[in-house]
Structure 1
Amino acid sequence: MFGISPLGWVHTLGSLPAIPAAIYMLARNGRIVPRSGSGLVYFISMLIGASTVFLVAHQPVSYVFGVLTLVLLLLGYGVGHTTVLGRATKYVETICLSLTVFLLMLPSVTETLTRVPDGHPLVTDLNSPLLHVAQGGLLLMLIVGLIAQIMSLRKQR
């Protein structure tokens, strides 16, 4: 179904819980909160998705996304356990984890539009205007979201 291999399903279903976990944390807290129940679900799910992309990827850019996601995820979750950055810790954590959401959603939206509905996908060409609008919308949400998160963190001081 949808031209996805069994390993592809492991990748897809393993990373899928990260989406509602991210939406929940962003709606409730305005950011990804690493040290929470939802944060743990997000971390594990993102780790599964980013790690398995190397086994299912067909495009070189997928490997870049996988490595970048893993680096940002580990940095975002690890920076809170150190005092090296001082007051900048929350900013680095928030920016890194917001970028992981973007790196999750960009291929998710692209893959969905190029596979659904099964047999007659909405997008058949990676240069499709619909795909570009969807990806541009995600980029706009990232930019607006990061600005709002940074402003919120500044007000909390």
Structure 2
Amino acid sequence: MFGLTPLGTVHTAIALVAVAAGLVALVRDKEISPDTGLGRTYLWATVLTCLTSFGIFQHGGFGVPHVLSLITLLTLALAMLAARTAVLGRASRYVSTLAFSLSFFFHTIPGATETFTRLPAGAPLFSGPEDPALQKLVGVFFVLFLIGAGLQVRRLWAGSAGVVARAA
């Protein structure tokens, strides 16, 4: 299937579950939270996506996609640390929410790269990871992440202001 190995096929299927769960959570709940079924599905599917990526060496040895998987795992660890402890104080809710959203952005990089350097079959949209048009698309995804992150911070800020007002 589009030049995928059996591991690549499993990896892609798991990644699609993660992306679908994350997208639905972001649209429905305005965040990816480990306290919801969608959030837990996103978290574990993303972890499995990262772990399965370490066995894929389509472009040679250990490379940029593997580094992105490590960064994603660290970002998820930070998100969970912030979600489950008070180590970051009042910033914990913000850090957790934004770290989960950042991990979702990370999905877009290999997702766009692997999809659009293979499809449409026989005439892919981009020539490879270094294609300037692909890099612009990733830039658009980053701007969308920044806009979403800003909206999330605004929503969290408004929610915490309401909590303070009710407590007074």
After TM superposition, the score normalised by the length of structure 1 is 0.93
Aligned counterpart, 1:27: 27
Structure with higher Rg: it is 2
* Runs of 5+ unmatched residues, structure 1: none
Aligned counterpart, 1:61: 64
Aligned counterpart, 2:120: 117
Matched, 1:77 2:88: no
Which one-letter code corresponds to 1:43 in the other structure? L
Rate the CA distance shift 1:123–1:78 in 2: closer, same or farther, 3 A: same
Structure 1 contact 123–131 (Cα < 8 Å) conserved: yes
Whole-angstrom CA distance in 1 between matches of 2:128 and 2:27: 33
Cα deviation for residue 129 of structure 1 reads: 4.0
Which one-letter code corresponds to 1:60 in the other structure? G
Cα deviation for residue 37 of structure 1 reads: 0.6
What is the RMSD of the two structures over their aligned residues, measured on CA atoms?
1.4
Cα deviation for residue 78 of structure 1 reads: 3.0
Structure 1 contact 2–119 (Cα < 8 Å) conserved: no
Whole-angstrom CA distance in 2 between matches of 1:29 and 1:71: 24
**Segments of 4+ moved more than 6 angstroms:** none
Structure 2 contact 126–134 (Cα < 8 Å) conserved: yes
Whole-angstrom CA distance in 1 between matches of 2:120 and 2:111: 15
Which one-letter code corresponds to 1:114 in the other structure? T
Say how many residue pairs are matched.
Answer: 157
Whole-angstrom CA distance in 2 between matches of 1:128 and 1:13: 25
Deviations for 1:87-133, whole angstroms, at most 9, x for unmatched residues? Answer: 11111101111110011111101111101122221111434343123
Pairs within 5 Å for 1:1-157 = 1-57=1-57, 58=59, 60-157=63-160
* Runs of 5+ unmatched residues, structure 2: 161-168
Identity %: 36
Cα deviation for residue 55 of structure 1 reads: 0.7
Q: Which of structures 1 and 2 has the larger relative contact order (alpha carbons within 8 angstroms, sep 6+)?
A: 1
Cα deviation for residue 84 of structure 1 reads: 1.8
After TM superposition, the score normalised by the length of structure 2 is 0.87
